[in-house]
Amino acid sequence: MQTTRFPDKNSWSTLLQRPVMDTSTLEKKVNDILQEVRSNGDNAIRKFAAEFDKVTLTDLQVPATAFEEAAAALDPSLKAAIQQAAKNITTFHRAQQEQSKVIETMPGVQCWRKSVAIQKVGLYIPGGSAPLFSTILMLGIPAMIAGCKEIVLCTPSLHPAILYTAQLIGIEKVFTIGGVQAIGAMAYGTESVPQVYKIFGPGNQYVTCAKQLVNKSGVAIDMPAGPSEVAVLADDSCVPAFVAADLLSQAEHGPDSQVVLVTTSEEVLTNVTRALDQQLAALPRKGIATAALENSKMILVKDMDTAIDMLNAYAPEHLILACEDAAALAEKVTDAGSVFMGNYTPESAGDYASGTNHTLPTNGYARAYSGVSLDSFVKKITFQQISPEGLRNIGATIEAMAAAEGLDAHKNAVTVRLTQLDYTGSLITE
């Protein structure tokens, strides 16, 4: 990790820059794949599975027998862990449900808002070097609570934990499709894969690019996303071994991940560096983590106010406050995906089982985006109802504003009703 001491504020944007990938040819490659899937459906999916994944696909949908075999093969202790995580995630997300409340803005004028589930959603679960079955919980559970009628899951991995988790939460339509072609299949629909209205889930740079391209053509996506990242703010009350473990837990995601340590203590820098070296040596994914650490920073600052200002400027996906006054510092955080407070709150708790969602904005998008929640799977539709009395009360206001904007038909939509009211004393019914 690169170490910087007392950087000038003018240098923060350069210092905190994320790893930059060359995407000059990426978009064309991805778009070509998407268009072939759009045109040729299942045949294109099979072609790209053979070309990129070196597999021959016959039936794209996972059969029911595969779920039963996965449940039988999975270690009982892992099944119990998945069940506990599912319970916690369900509890947290179910509490996000809102009841409609009618607001009378003036006598006779009633307005309200109602949450309505997005009817068709697609979930993408990468294969790669790790079977991310935890992401099925994070996306599938709020989709179920929201009441989405059709949930489609695409994944190149048939790991038993993925199939067991999908079955546990009630997802039945699972397809063995990965990469760009999976995004295309859900965005446009094929002979086998239903078209969806919104796509969720992480992925590599190709998948991320595919999601952004289908978004341009009218398919909603959860959020812009990039490589995973964590920032840790630590003072002398931290446990250096804990901080090192948290940094490595993100560094092992991929070589393009980034981790940042900000501290007011030279001693913390020294002790965390020592702990990092010790833990990295024993890490099975040492090569991946080592590459990520080359993109990563340790920064010494003069005081906590400076540290908080710097971290808000960085807007990390995950922010750990390994500090004595973590609760007070948390009140000053304005830009972060998810905050972990105190020495005994590892970021991996949020990744798996505490209950919060681990699908979070990266690459500084936490300045304007929230992580996935129940709200991500619903639309908020507004309703209004105006009585004859209400129209008399609000009518002149509407007429005056419409006339001032030169929209006479808007004004007339009120005037004809008020005229009828004056003539009959009540609204006409036919």
Residue 391 class from Cβ within 10 Å (0-12 exposed, 13-18 middle, 19+ buried)?
A: middle
Q: How far apart are CA 314 and CA 336, in angstroms?
A: 8
Has 253 been labeled as part of a binding site?
yes
Whether 318 is a known active-site residue: answer yes
Has 258 been labeled as part of a binding site?
no
Has 410 been labeled as part of a binding site?
yes
Q: Which of 318, 347, 358, 399 is catalytic?
A: 318
Cα-Cα-Cα-Cα torsion 86, 87, 92, 93, nearest 10 degrees, comes to 60
Q: Around Cβ 354, how many Cβ atoms within 10 Å?
A: 17
Contacts of 186 (CB under 8 A, 6+ apart): 122, 124, 152, 154, 193, 194, 195, 196, 199, 219
Contact 125, 201 (CB under 8 A): yes
* Residue of 373, 352, 363 lying closest to 132 (CA atoms): 352
Tokens linked to 136: 């099925």
Q: How far apart are CA 209 and CA 201, in angstroms?
A: 13
Has 43 been labeled as part of a binding site?
no
Tokens linked to 74: 């999975």
Q: Which of 317, 347, 358, 399 is catalytic?
A: 317
Q: How far apart are CA 4 and CA 296, in angstroms?
A: 11
Has 159 been labeled as part of a binding site?
no
Contact 4, 300 (CB under 8 A): yes
Has 318 been labeled as part of a binding site?
yes
Q: Interior CA angle at 340 toward 78 and 272, to 5°? A: 95
Has 405 been labeled as part of a binding site?
yes
Has 228 been labeled as part of a binding site?
yes
Angstrom CA distances, 69 to 3, 127, 153, 160, 207, stand at 50, 19, 19, 8, 29
Has 119 been labeled as part of a binding site?
no
Q: How far apart are CA 106 and CA 108, in angstroms?
A: 6
Residue numbering of the annotated binding site for substrate: 228, 250, 253, 318, 351, 405, 410
Residue numbering of the annotated binding site for Zn(2+): 250, 253, 351, 410
Catalytic residues: 317-318
Residue numbering of the annotated binding site for NAD(+): 124, 181, 204
Residue numbering of the annotated binding site: 124, 181, 204, 228, 250, 253, 318, 351, 405, 410
